[in-house]
Amino acid sequence: MKANLLCGNRNLPKHILKENVHEHWIGIDRGTLILLESGITPQFAVGDFDSITESEKDFIQQQIQINPYNSEKDDTDLALGIDQAIKCGYRSIDVYGATGGRLDHFMGALQILEKPEYTELGIKIKLIDDTNEIQFLQKGQYKVAYNKHFPYVSYIPVIYPTVISLKGFKYNLENETLKLGSTLTISNELSQDSGTVNITEGSVLMIRSQD
């Protein structure tokens, strides 16, 4: 099962809510308000709701039940929302509205992608905005299809050293070791309809982008 999580309205892909109104959505804090104002009733909502006014909270509670967390907690609202989504059976999760704000929250979102409890279950989580799509890839082989919306592909090592091979790209690699500080795998492109990424050691963040 697939779910979309909405954290806010920063850097959203154009028409994402209108074009995906019938998909499963989950509200994260203020994202809940945005979903309801867009005519989408979320499957559930998570957060401390400290980013909305009391009148906005009343508006939400008139339409769905919420149980706000204490603002002083051990996890971010997004982390709590993803955890609950997985417990509900979702195995593919696209996160929107998580970029363009505080860098510490963004880095925290990246940490969630790497969480061993999720990767071991094969949970597929992406952070998506209007110019980027970010996904965590651990050891293994992956097929990457061309996407006209995100023509550029970069691989950022998470563990050092990382050993990576790329085939079907403008700049192919064969068992290349990426060391600390390397920018070798920034801004590549597919040279055909699809390519292959093989990670034999380490792990990476795959970032697909447009200018």
Q: Which tens digits make up the pLDDT trace of 115-127?
A: 999 999 999 999 9
Structure tokens at 141: 């082989």
pLDDT tens column, 80-94 = 999 999 999 999 999
Average pLDDT over residues 161-173: 97
Structure tokens at 89: 């059976």
Quick one: CA torsion of 129, 46, 89, 38, rounded to 10 degrees? Answer: -50
Confidence grade of residue 72 (pLDDT, cut at 50, 70, 90): low
Q: Which residue has the higher pLDDT, 176 or 58?
A: 176
15-24, 69-78, 148-157: least confidently modelled range: 69-78
Quote the pLDDT of residue 155: 97
Structure tokens at 22: 């019938």
Average pLDDT over residues 2-15: 94
DSSP state of 190: B
Quote the pLDDT of residue 137: 97
Structure tokens at 118: 């999720």
Quote the pLDDT of residue 119: 93
Average pLDDT over residues 129-137: 97
Distance linking the first and last C-alpha atoms of the chain = 31
Please give the single-letter amino acid code of residue 127. L
Burial of 110 (0-12, 13-18, 19+ CB in 10 A): middle
Quote the pLDDT of residue 71: 67
Quote the pLDDT of residue 122: 93
CB 74, CB 82: distance < 8 Å? no
Confidence grade of residue 53 (pLDDT, cut at 50, 70, 90): confident
